[in-house]
Amino acid sequence: MRLMFRKGAILRFSLPLFKGIGILLFLWILSRIDRQELVRHLRSVNPPLLLFSFALIFFNYLLKSIRWHLLVLSTGLQLTLHDSWKLYNIGIFLGNITPGKLGEFGRIAYLTRMGLHAGTATSIALLDRILDIAGLAAIFLLSIKVLFGWYFFALSLAVCGISVITLGGALQWSRELRARTMWLQFLGVLARPRTVAALLALTVSIWIFYGIWSTLIAWSLDIGLGLLPLIATATLAGALSLLPIAPAGLGTREAALLALLAPYGISAPEAVAWGLLMFTSIIASSLPGGYYFMTSSRLRVD
């Protein structure tokens, strides 16, 4: 018991430290660039394009909420779409304040409180994360091809394949994930072709709008780069921002953008301005989830 307590205390103490790595990285980047030029780029932003990009975030959250709603309905739990929207936004808020977006799994607690079996609720959260990872992996590989060519694309594809096989083996031998309710939930969703088609269509749409969102922010800063390189760069930077060392990817995203945009002649202040606006949009768009989290007692099952 004492050992478990010590481990928990160490974890609670270490997580903020991990978050601090990204903040320190961001501060170091700021110390190395022309900050006056950064401010100039931020002041010259195109407000209509920036506002439109911000609106797209919530449309994307709506698509994600609908996907989550379909997964929940597949368990037989009759949740309203409005409550699914609240739950998903709570997950986004918790994800932004925890390393690696692990807080998104906080939705499990709400589902179990509503009467769903913990194993089934976990499987729903895993399915939702798997869909996002699959979509991100596909765009990630295409982005590698756009930015680095066929050789690195093939290498990345091989690494992804090995990772999937390794992960599949680990899941197969995990007693926790072999729980009957979880496997039945996976099979139950896959046995509904219309549900699967809807989930895949929603996932594709989510990542398309992610690309549009990030591109609009770049265009609002008048970053002179083609559509495909912009989407590829934003995707790779977004993938690296998932590293559990920064709040909402602060620092890691900017470092990735600096490295990826430099060969195209994009200045460091422009790259940092793009990353900073994406970070600000992500944080601002999670505020409704923070409100729902504070008033979560209103969530109910009709």
Question: What is the pTM (predicted TM-score) of this model?
Answer: 0.82
> Which tens digit of pLDDT belongs to each residue from 125-176?
888 888 888 888 888 888 898 888 888 889 888 888 887 677 666 555 555 5
* CA distances to 93, 95, 105, 147, 160 from 102, in Å: 11, 6, 6, 30, 21
Beta-carbon neighbour count of residue 63 at 10 Å? 18
What gap in Å lies between CA 94 and CA 198, rounded to an integer? Answer: 26
112, pLDDT greater than 90:
no
The two three-digit tokens of residue 298, written as one number: 């209103």
Beta-carbon neighbour count of residue 275 at 10 Å? 27
Q: What angle do CA 113, 72, 300 make, to 5 degrees?
A: 40
10, pLDDT greater than 50:
no
Q: What is the pLDDT of residue 106?
A: 76
The two three-digit tokens of residue 134, written as one number: 């699959």
13, pLDDT greater than 50:
no
Q: Between 66 and 151, whose confidence is greater?
A: 66
The two three-digit tokens of residue 255, written as one number: 């470092």
Q: What is the pLDDT of residue 219?
A: 94
What gap in Å lies between CA 126 and CA 42, rounded to an integer? Answer: 38
What gap in Å lies between CA 261 and CA 131, rounded to an integer? Answer: 28
